[in-house]
Amino acid sequence: MRIILLGPPGAGKGTQAKRLMDAEGIPQISTGDILRKAVADQTPLGREAKSVMDSGGLVPDQVVIGLIRERLGQSDAVKGFILDGFPRTVPQAEALDGLLVDLKRPLSAVAAIDVEPSELVRRLSGRRVCQACQAAYHVEFNPPKREGVCDRCGGALIQRDDDKEATIRRRLEVYREQTEPLIAYYKGKGLARLVNGIGNVDEISGRLREALAGA
């Protein structure tokens, strides 16, 4: 299965990608996670990306395309992959098409998770992530057993810098302008499958499974 999870920030792409990864035994490839790791490790890439990410903008296409080219070349991606947060612009989608033609590994499907903006702001502003293992929580909908502490590994839970309200608004704007056109792009290729992203995590997983059946 070679799929893209498309949808606005806060739609639940990361959560659903992790579930699919466990169910299907294929890697989740998140450009956001790769970039956050580079920022934490203070690599040259991380230093370049940090201010763009903190402001809610997009890292240049050529940078993320390079990251994806390298990641898809690793051996665990041969049996399939779940792309989460990539592509985010039409040039990224076109570059991915070219890359997958070269690799002779065409996409199976693109699941577009739909959630309205007011709900996204609620989800993102309450989101907390484990600094150590990246597990995701929500102060209201999915709180940890002990406030501020990861259930899974005991790591500290933090709010991402880009989950602050002003940045959230900017990220949603960028999504509408630059990423949403990809739904039409993949509809045109007969690959898009629309998934209602309102409900609890299990409900959305069920809908996603149905949408991807046969993919």
Tell me, residue by residue from 53 to 72, as one string, x for binding to ligand AMP by CB under 6 A and - for no binding.
x--xxxx----x--------
Residue 12 makes CB contacts below 8 A (sequence gap 6+) with 113, 115, 123, 197, 201, 204
Q: How far is the CB of 204 from ligand AMP (least distance, A)?
A: 17
**Catalytic residue list contains 122:** no
| Catalytic residue from among 18, 105, 122, 160 | 160
Neighbours of 41 (CB within 10 A): 10
Catalytic residue status for 127: yes
**CB of 64 vs ligand AMP, minimal distance in Å:** 4
Among 127, 128, 193, 207, which one carries the catalytic annotation? 127
Q: In the annotation, is 88 catalytic?
A: yes
Distance of alpha carbon 134 from alpha carbon 1, whole angstroms: 24
Catalytic residue check, 160: yes
Q: Where are the beta strands (DSSP E) in the chain?
A: 2-6, 28-30, 81-84, 109-114, 127-130, 136-138, 157-158, 192-196
Catalytic residue among 36, 171, 193, 207: 171
Binder of ligand AMP out of 7, 8, 9, 197 (CB under 6 A)? 9
First to last CA, the chain: 6
Least separation in angstroms between residue 72's CB and ligand AMP is 13
| Nearest-5° Cα angle at 214, 209 to 215 | 80
Is residue 98 classed exposed, middle or buried when 0-12, 13-18 and 19+ CB atoms within 10 A define those classes? exposed
- Restricting to residues 74-103, name those near ligand AMP by CB under 6 A: 85-86, 88, 92
In the complex with ligand AMP, the residue whose CB is nearer, 32 or 197, is 32
Min. distance of Cβ 53 from ligand AMP in angstroms? Answer: 4
Asked about 36 being catalytic, the answer comes back as: no
Q: Considering only residues 26, 35, 96, 120, which one is a binding residue for ligand AMP as defined by CB under 6 A?
A: 35
Catalytic hit among 19, 36, 88, 128: 88
Judged by beta carbon, residue 147 or residue 166, the one nearer ligand AMP is 166
- Token readout for 40 is 């934490």
Q: Please name which of 153, 208, 166, 146 lies closest in space to residue 56, comparing C-alpha atoms.
A: 166
35 residue type, one letter? L
The least CB distance from residue 102 to ligand AMP, in Å, is 19
Which parts of 49-166 are beta strand (E)?
81-84, 109-114, 127-130, 136-138, 157-158
Residues near ligand AMP, by CB under 6 A: 9, 31-32, 35, 52-53, 56-59, 64, 85-86, 88, 92, 162, 171
Catalytically active residues are 13, 88, 127, 160, 171
